[in-house]
Copies of this chain bind each other. A is one copy, B any other.
């Protein structure tokens, strides 16, 4: 299961610090392979392969101009990735999560006529909206 879908490719590309560094570089300006290699501690073939991975993820595009090959950032796929992550935004806020847990605790307490936690080790949370699909 080598994650051949778009989202997997994007996250996979982003998982490598070198590739993130390359993207950061390309956010400022288009660059050649040589230029991208310069600040990095790895060989040019290695960079070339990183660029191939980024291209496969749709995160860059490349155009040949003479003997130079320019890489340009193509940030659109990042949007998709960000949107996937955004689905969990409500869970980022700890207080919200705790409120959620609290509501679940109260609800459970209502069933048991006991206000204290039923099982303190595993307070169950109940999600307010179930608008999640399992996967995409």
Q: Which residues of A contact B (CB under 8 A)?
A: 1, 3, 5, 7-8, 11-12, 14-18, 20-21, 23-25, 27-32, 35, 39, 63-66, 68, 70, 73, 75-76, 78-79, 81-82, 84-89, 91-92, 94, 97, 104, 116-117, 119, 121-122, 124-127, 130, 132-135
Contacts and interface: CB of A to CB of B under 8 A. Distances in A.
A25 B65 CA distance: 48
Contacts of A63: 121-122
Contact of A17 (B8, B18, B70, B116): B8
Count the copies. Answer: 2
Given A65-B119, A78-B88, A85-B85, 9 more contacts: A1-B16, A11-B15, A20-B84, A29-B125, A32-B117, A65-B117, A65-B121, A65-B122, A68-B122
